[in-house]
Amino acid sequence: MLANEQLLDDLAGAVLDGDAIDWAEAESSAGADVRLVRHLRLVASVAQVHREALSDATLTSSGPVLTHATPPERWGHLRLLERVGRGAFGEVFRAWDTRLDREVALKLLAAAPTASGPQPGTIIQEGRLLARVRHPNVVTIHGAEQIGDQIGLWMEFVRGHTLEQLLRQGTVFTGADVVKIGLDLSRAVSAVHAAGLLHRDIKAHNVTRAEDGRVVLMDFGTGKELDDNSSSDLAGTPLYLAPEVMAGQPATVRSDIYSLGVLLYHLLTNSYPVRGRTIRDVRRAHERNERVGLRTSRPEVRPALARVIERAIDPQPERRYANVEALARDLAVLQRRPGVVRLMYGLAAAAAIVVVAALASDVRARLTGDNRSLGTRFASMFGLAPNYRANPLIAVLPFRNASIELSNSLLVESVTDGLIQQLAIIDGLEVRSRTSSFLLKDKPRDLADIGRRLNVNLVIEGDARLSGNRLVINASLVSIEDDRPVWSDTVDRELSSEGDVVGVVEHLTRKIVNELRLKLGRTQRQYKTDIPTYEIFLRALALRDARFFETIKAIPLFEEVLRRDPSYAPALAALALAHGDRSRNYPDARGTATPPTEADTQAEPLALKALEIDPLLPEAHAAIGGIHARAGRWAQAEESYRRAISLQPNLTFLYGSFVFYALHPLGRLDEALSLMQDAVRADPLSPDARRLLGRVQISVGHFDDALANCTLVLEQDPKYPFAGEICGLALMFKGRTDEALAWFNKGGRADLNEHWIGYIYAVTGRRAEAEALAARNTHLPHRPAMIYAALGDKDRAFEALEALALVNPYRAAYYLSVRELATLHDDPRAAILRQKLSLPR
């Protein structure tokens, strides 16, 4: 009964919305309520009769409504408010549509035919054709009509500036701007082409950037039907015209692509690929193939972007993109992934973001042993062709009930529902609503038809079966284009009691969707947390990312976030990481660090909960990696970190964790070095990445580089903690011990640096002072370890390391790999200790 209520409600909505409904199917699934469905069908017929009664041209062609004479400030049903533009063939007004009470733009042209201008009949006809195009990036044409001696074309009024105006105002478009604009316009032109039309006048004057940032393709005065090959009048500005059109051939999809390419070229360079002051000049330049390469005009344009644009404006039509969608796909590849990149690097220049993306891809490739070209990897990273990769539009087909008992249909429906809900959390994925999916229930499966009707390129289909207490769900992701399964999975779980069903369905659908996120390359999920909570979270992240050693200050903020939203997985993971990091230097001079076992008691449940909610959250994997490392499970630690980084290669703060929790203690210093170099290249303004790079450079003996890096950090922030220590270490190893001592003693930080101060005493012959420092620091075993090693007293050095290994095994492993203790590396006792710490030989 419940299911039928839902059915009736959905059908009623569809009737009122005027949606197409498969009545035979609806009646067959209504059971006892079939009569009610028939009544609804009757009402749908009523609606249809009335719709058809007024579907002809009467609405557009009925003259002015008013009974009095039309005042001069009116045109038909439009009240003219102000003139906003004047073009070659007419004027444009802001106007008020009194029929529909909305603001419109009215383009008025003289109906008297002119030699060069468009012909009146054609304009009206074309206006009506163009009214078919509905796309957010294409201006919506409302109607076209002739009244007296004027032809009016009225359309959506878009507030903003044309791209040409913006250029003249001195706007400099970055590569990223142009990629975004190019992508929006490709979609717009694609919609025009899909309607069977050509635009034929794509240029910077005809594109408006609305106040809300939307890019809108305007002005269709010369639009022509796609198959109208007869005429070849020279529409469009010559500078944007494809050479073959200039030579008298008809316009095509590829000539629109050419103009779009010129527009993008123009935005980047404020110039044109083929130049000339007159049509004759331009024609001659085309004939002689005199073209200026994009990078000649603006050298800093990324080669990849230049290649895309050059292909669009290739003089040979057959070498251009075959259709706008192909151009859009290539542009989509160049567009950086939105989301966290922006969050983490919001302050860095756009150029840096490009580096982040490229580098991240590179790093991930290295981590995963991926040897494909950078371009190919880019493609997989951002999602390239086939179409669904660039812009996945997904519908969930109603799941089939594979149970023996038919009474489980409600359960099966809840699986469909659950999937739709879970899919909605994937960033950048459009999911069709429940009603749309529902209308397809038990219809013959015609993928092409479904794709068209729901405007999707992917569907999820499958079945659910309840056998005994076990719910089993089979799900496949199918690409509409070729009816090919892209992915499939089976999940199952025991139902423990009746009330458990919802939880199990949620668990299983979440599992499916999380796998899908990986498959689709869209690993960002959305969280619905409130803005104040999110702001606290951002503040905490900023604290953590700015100064690794101050992670501890972020802890109460993360805790506050979780008080407000206990299931906010990023905060759970961040807090887990923070607890782990807080134990890293235990025992420390100021007593702020916590013992690792204690830290992990707190960190582990947090990290596990985060993973359960969001198995693809990179920070959660990193937190698990840290827990493994502190427990001496190095292989698992490495695996977790690699997974974290591959999930989101541009989260460079993870690199530092990976290096210091795994690669460095494992003695894989070359890998550590290269990873930290990547991190700094990706995030050149991060003092922490640079400081950690300096530390690794010391370990591999690149003291000058380390010195340069710590100096850079201190130039940015003279008080940056532990940067001075890197300088001190570099100087110490370069033998400039006095300068090194000055750094270690600087700013009242001597108490934090007694191990290195003692080390310098030891190597400069101040043996007694060194011994004294070691003796008074037995509670901080790394200090005597370092000082005794410098004094050549390996027995006591190992004794101290053993003591350290008891309270903080991870840290003992790390110290075994640092340069300060290099004299111990080959000692047999080091091998024994390594074995105890589960480190490889």
Q: Residues in the site for other proteins, rule: CB under 8 A?
A: 8-9, 12-19, 35-36, 39-40, 42-43, 45-55, 58-60, 62, 65-67, 77, 96, 98-103, 131, 134, 142-143, 194, 435-436, 452-455
Minimum distance of other proteins from residue 719's CB (angstroms): 53
Minimum distance of other proteins from residue 629's CB (angstroms): 51
- Which residue, 541, 591, 546, is CA-closest to 723? 546
Minimum distance of other proteins from residue 682's CB (angstroms): 40
Residues 6 or more apart from 521 whose CB is under 8 A from it?
380, 381, 382, 383, 389
Nearest residue (CB) to other proteins, 70 versus 335 = 70
* Strands 102-110, 90-97: pairing kind: antiparallel
Q: How far apart are CA 189 and CA 195, in angstroms?
A: 10
Nearest residue (CB) to other proteins, 71 versus 369 = 71
Minimum distance of other proteins from residue 105's CB (angstroms): 14
Minimum distance of other proteins from residue 75's CB (angstroms): 14
Minimum distance of other proteins from residue 285's CB (angstroms): 40
Please say whether the beta carbons of 321 and 278 come within 8 A.
Answer: no
Residue 769 CB neighbour total at 10 angstroms: 16
Provide φ and ψ at 81, rounded to 5°: -105, -50
Minimum distance of other proteins from residue 159's CB (angstroms): 13
Tokens representing 325 are 């969608």
Minimum distance of other proteins from residue 193's CB (angstroms): 13
Nearest residue (CB) to other proteins, 19 versus 559 = 19
Nearest residue (CB) to other proteins, 437 versus 602 = 437
Nearest residue (CB) to other proteins, 49 versus 531 = 49
Nearest residue (CB) to other proteins, 1 versus 53 = 53
Minimum distance of other proteins from residue 485's CB (angstroms): 25
* Separation in Å, CA 402 to CA 421, 422, 457: 22, 22, 26
Q: How far apart are CA 163 and CA 350, in angstroms?
A: 20
Please give the biggest Cα pair distance in the chain: 111
Minimum distance of other proteins from residue 692's CB (angstroms): 51
Nearest residue (CB) to other proteins, 134 versus 779 = 134
Please say whether the beta carbons of 699 and 819 come within 8 A.
Answer: yes
Minimum distance of other proteins from residue 453's CB (angstroms): 7
Nearest residue (CB) to other proteins, 439 versus 731 = 439
Q: How far apart are CA 650 and CA 363, in angstroms?
A: 9
Nearest residue (CB) to other proteins, 97 versus 244 = 97
Minimum distance of other proteins from residue 22's CB (angstroms): 14
Nearest residue (CB) to other proteins, 67 versus 278 = 67
Nearest residue (CB) to other proteins, 325 versus 330 = 325
Tokens representing 133 are 């195009």
Q: How far apart are CA 304 and CA 331, in angstroms?
A: 9
Nearest residue (CB) to other proteins, 41 versus 794 = 41
Residues composing the chain:
841
Nearest residue (CB) to other proteins, 16 versus 832 = 16
Q: How far apart are CA 409 and CA 316, in angstroms?
A: 58
- CA 300 to chain centroid, in Å, comes to 24
| Exposed / middle / buried, residue 236 (Cβ in 10 Å: 0-12, 13-18, 19+) | buried
What is the Cα gyration radius of the chain? Answer: 34
Which residue reads 């047999």 in tokens? 828
Nearest residue (CB) to other proteins, 12 versus 402 = 12
- Which residue, 175, 176, 183, 202, is CA-closest to 298? 175
* Separation in Å, CA 184 to CA 257, 335, 655: 13, 12, 35
Minimum distance of other proteins from residue 696's CB (angstroms): 54
Nearest residue (CB) to other proteins, 157 versus 378 = 157
Which residue reads 């997904």 in tokens? 394
Please say whether the beta carbons of 126 and 72 come within 8 A.
Answer: no
Minimum distance of other proteins from residue 128's CB (angstroms): 10
- Which residue, 87, 96, 80, 85, is CA-closest to 221? 87
Nearest residue (CB) to other proteins, 16 versus 112 = 16
> What amino acid occupies position 411?
L
Q: What angle do CA 731, 735, 737 make, to 5 degrees?
A: 65
Minimum distance of other proteins from residue 218's CB (angstroms): 18
Residues 6 or more apart from 717 whose CB is under 8 A from it?
687, 723
Minimum distance of other proteins from residue 184's CB (angstroms): 18
Minimum distance of other proteins from residue 19's CB (angstroms): 5
* Separation in Å, CA 225 to CA 118, 128, 199, 200, 730: 14, 11, 9, 10, 72
Q: What angle do CA 493, 496, 500 make, to 5 degrees?
A: 85
Q: Write the DSSP symbol of residue 391.
A: S
Minimum distance of other proteins from residue 455's CB (angstroms): 6
User: Please, what sign has the CA dihedral across residues 253, 257, 262, 263?
Assistant: positive
Please say whether the beta carbons of 225 and 256 come within 8 A.
Answer: no
Residues 6 or more apart from 42 whose CB is under 8 A from it?
none
Please say whether the beta carbons of 380 and 333 come within 8 A.
Answer: no
User: Please, what sign has the CA dihedral across residues 775, 779, 781, 782?
Assistant: negative
Nearest residue (CB) to other proteins, 67 versus 116 = 67
* Separation in Å, CA 12 to CA 8, 36, 46, 402: 6, 10, 13, 29
User: Please, what sign has the CA dihedral across residues 709, 714, 720, 722?
Assistant: positive
Tokens representing 734 are 């370069």
Nearest residue (CB) to other proteins, 40 versus 163 = 40
